[in-house]
């Protein structure tokens, strides 16, 4: 499993789907928002949690088609399917590799980008915490979408249409945690909902992804 994780990390970085692309897109979104809504500091501070969460979500979406596409193209996915490691473990490792190369850098960079949007001081901690809890769900859901569309022509567009509705609950509760934290309000309820979504996704979707891959590989 460790060898597979190291291989996927190396492939993600070499194929252009690593942290650099996601961070660049995240920075572009954060930089363009003040041009679109105006430079008013109060307005930027009010919408900062939602904009930062939306930027992180879209940055994660950029590299989803690379999770399984490279293995499909070179035939290694067929070899992995016959390996002693269960298919559920394989898709879990691939989701973890995607989070390490995309989600984790976004979590670490979000407080820095929050300065550009005049995020309130208390919001930095809650923004980072909500992203740390929520972005693993984005990677696991994205792996499920990649499994559904693997091998399809222009599957990236179809995958985006399939995955985005599944991302909505995570976006809602993640942004709500950051917003309430920035305003000094209670965050327990949305934080628990966000954690519950992530745990449920991690527990259930690897089995669904493995089942879909078995069907596609027949």
Q: Sketch the domain layout of the chain as residue ranges.
A: 2-216
Other beta carbons within 10 Å of 200: 12
pTM for the structure as a whole = 0.89
Alpha-carbon distance values, 117 to 24, 27, 124, 174, 206 (Å): 16, 11, 11, 17, 36
CA distance 106 to 48: 15
CA quadruple 151, 153, 154, 157: dihedral sign = negative
pLDDT digits (tens, 9 = 90+) for 1-57: 677 777 777 766 665 555 578 888 899 989 898 888 887 888 888 999 999 999 999
Cβ neighbours of residue 152 closer than 8 Å, sequence gap 6 or more: 158
pLDDT-flagged residues of the chain (< 70): 1, 11-19, 73-75, 78, 81, 153-156
Residue among 187, 211, 213 at smallest CA distance from 79 = 213
């Amino acid at each position: 499993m460790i060898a597979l994780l190291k291989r996927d990390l190396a492939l993600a970085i070499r194929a252009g789907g690593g942290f650099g692309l996601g961070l660049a897109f995240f920075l572009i979104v954060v930089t363009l928002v003040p041009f679109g809504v105006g430079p008013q500091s109060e307005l930027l501070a009010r919408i900062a949690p939602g904009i930062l969460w939306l930027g992180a979500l879209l940055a994660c979406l950029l590299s989803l088609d690379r999770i399984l596409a490279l293995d499909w193209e070179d035939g290694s996915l067929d070899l992995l399917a016959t390996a002693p490691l269960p298919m559920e473990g394989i898709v879990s490792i691939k989701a973890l590799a995607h989070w390490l190369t995309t989600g984790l850098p976004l979590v670490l960079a979000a407080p820095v980008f929050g300065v550009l949007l005049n995020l309130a001081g208390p919001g930095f901690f809650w923004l980072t915490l909500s992203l740390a809890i929520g972005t693993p769900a984005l990677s696991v859901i994205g792996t499920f979408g990649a499994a559904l569309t693997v091998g399809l022509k222009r599957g990236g567009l179809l995958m985006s249409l399939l995955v985005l509705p599944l991302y909505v609950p995570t976006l809602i509760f993640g942004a709500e945690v950051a917003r309430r934290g920035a305003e000094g309000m209670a965050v327990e309820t949305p934080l628990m909902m966000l954690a519950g979504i992530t745990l449920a996704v991690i527990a259930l979707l690897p089995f669904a992804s493995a089942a879909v891959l078995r069907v596609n590989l027949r």
